[in-house]
Amino acid sequence: MNKPKIKRLVGKYEVGRTIGEGTFAKVKFARNTENGDPVALKILDKEKVLKHKMAEQIKREVATMKLIKHPHVVRLFEVMGSRTKIFIVLEFVTGGELFDKIVNNGRMQEDEARKYFQQLINTVDYCHSRGVFHRDLKPENLLLDASGNLKISDFGLSALSQQVRDDGLLHTTCGTPNYVAPEVLNDRGYDGSTADLWSCGVILFVLLAGYLPFDDSNLVNLYKKISAAEFTCPPWLSFGAMKLITRILDPNPTTRITIPEVLENEWFKKDYKPPVFDEKLETNLDDVEAVFKDSEEFHVTEKTEERPAAMNAFELISMSKGLNLGNLFDVEQGFKRETMFTSRSPANEIISKIEEAAKPLGFDVHKKNYKMRLENIKAGRKGNLNVATEVFQVAPSLHMVEVRKAKGDTLEFHKFYKSLSTSLDDVVWKTEEDMHLK
């Protein structure tokens, strides 16, 4: 365990821990070895992309994303390909998700909510003017930078104007049910602009109320509530906020307020300062075409590792809030979708202890080196809960263990982690202060 660790490199990027997962992609923290800048590396399986005939769509969407240089959209720097994978290099955003801010702190005051909503609408308007629609706008896709400003992720990796049919409408049903517009659900085609605005209205409601306007454990009932716009504004909202939300959450897309009208709304305009930015920076799109060329000269070089990844101080700091490392080692982190703890136990022992603790809780365990995937046999509120864990070496005798929800319900993950942490009590490293608190 004390031997020097092998770095994992993809081209000029040193690859670190996994920070997100989806059906087709995994996102990892990475560092540009030429300038030391942190990035997020989105990794797609090329075989899956080709099997589902997504190659042209990805090329088109990546090219569009490279052209979008709005300050409130996560930047796409470059795209690379190997024989088996596609690598999309994105801006690394350090402030966490807007979702966590709402869950941990509850509803916002109107001035704070308005600031985020203004940034959201300005960005959505800009992207729509370039024929780019998101189709999955929700707090989990809204990140915050170090200054607390909004950064929309995956904007343009959802739908483009080229996917509009002859009737001028999009026809793919997608998105998260609670945030999806009624016209998306009825499968008769929809306008990407008005559908995105509906999602923005749901987000505004959540920011101001602290809960969803449309929610039901039964999907059929949920769709009925959305289709009828069956919701009630909480009494603490101002009249201006209530009126704007009601105009946005109009189930009829033809009478729903438009983005230009939102921009002129009195409640919206208060203290509104549109961002000033330069969108004329040069963009090279050669790498987009090269990704799918089946020739070694276009392939990026990959080097793999077999031992626990070493985590340096740079990564530790980038993971902590306000550069306070104490936050990293707090077992009680609220309803987040990932958490961490440190241990002085050997890496193999940590893996064994997690496996021993997870199996009685009804989880199948899949191991690969110092990574594990735990899958709940029983389906929960949002399908089977999947939990990913990875052991990192911080120092020769100190490991950090990341426990992250890969799939399923966030609250179910929180309950699982509380049970797991109880079982791992003898593995978790405690400071003298922690012992005193006990």
Which residue shows structure tokens 């059906």? 23
Which residue, among 157, 152, 151, has the nearest Cα to 132 in the 3D structure? 157
Question: pLDDT value at position 150?
Answer: 92
Cα 9 to Cα 13, 44, 311, 336, 415: the distances in Å are 6, 16, 14, 29, 36
Q: Which residue has the tokens 């100190």?
A: 398
Is the pTM higher than 0.75? The answer reads: no
Per-residue pLDDT of the chain (438 residues; tens, 9 = 90+): 344 455 688 888 988 888 777 666 788 899 998 888 999 998 888 888 777 777 777 777 787 777 788 899 888 888 888 888 888 898 988 888 887 888 888 899 999 999 999 999 999 998 888 777 777 788 777 888 888 899 988 765 554 333 333 434 333 334 467 888 888 777 666 677 888 899 999 999 999 999 999 988 888 888 899 989 999 999 999 999 999 999 999 999 999 999 999 999 999 999 998 888 776 666 666 677 666 666 565 666 676 655 565 565 555 545 544 333 333 334 344 445 677 788 888 888 888 889 888 888 889 988 877 888 898 888 776 678 888 888 887 776 788 888 888 888 777 887 888 888 788 877 777 654 444 444
The answer to whether the CB of 259 falls within 8 A of the CB of 197 is yes
Report how far residue 339's alpha carbon sits from residue 405's, in angstroms, rounded to the nearest whole number.
9
Which run of H or E residues covers position 87?
A: strand 85-91
Catalytic residue among 100, 125, 136, 196: 136
**Binding-site entries for ATP:** 42
- Which residues, other chains included, contact 400 with Cβ-Cβ below 8 Å and sequence gap of 6+? 311, 316, 328, 340, 341, 342, 343, 391, 392, 394
Identical topology for domains 9-92 and 309-437: no
**Which fold is adopted by the domain 309-437?**
TATA-Binding Protein (3.30.310)
How is residue 336 written in tokens? 């987040």
Residue length, the chain? 438
pLDDT of residue 48: 80
* DSSP H/E element including 102: helix 98-105
State the pLDDT at residue 23: 63
Q: 93: which residues sit within 8 A by CB, 6+ positions away?
A: 40, 74, 143, 144, 145, 151, 153
Task: Let me know how many helices (H) and strands (E) the chain has, helices first.
Answer: 15, 17
Structure tokens at 327: 């936050």
pLDDT at 310: 59
For the chain, domain boundaries: 9-92, 98-269, 309-437
Is 425 an active-site residue? no
Classify 374 as helix, strand or coil. strand
Q: How far apart are CA 327 and CA 333, in angstroms?
A: 8
Q: Are 387 and 416 in contact (CB under 8 A)?
A: yes
Amino acid at 125: D
Cβ(69)–Cβ(75) below 8 Å: yes
Spell out the residues 6+ positions from residue 257 whose beta carbon is closer than 8 angstroms to its own: 197, 244, 247, 248, 250, 265
Do the Cβ atoms of 49 and 62 come closer than 8 Å?
no
The domain made up of 98-269 has a fold known as Transferase(Phosphotransferase); domain 1 (1.10.510)
The answer to whether the beta carbons of residues 123 and 196 sit under 8 Å apart is: no
Rg of the Cα trace of the chain?
23
DSSP assignment, residue 1?
-
In angstroms, the CA 320 to CA 84 distance is: 33
- In the chain the first and final C-alpha atoms are separated, in Å, by 31
> Domain 9-92, CATH 3.10.105.10 — does that match?
no
Return the pLDDT at 325. 35
- What are the φ/ψ torsions at residue 300 (nearest 5 degrees)? -80, 150
Q: What is the pLDDT of residue 202?
A: 94
Residue 132 CB-density burial (10 A; 0-12 exposed, 13-18 middle, 19+ buried): buried
Q: List, in order, residues 6 or more apart from 311 with CB less than 8 Å away.
A: 16, 17, 392, 393, 394, 400
CB 31, CB 126: distance < 8 Å: no
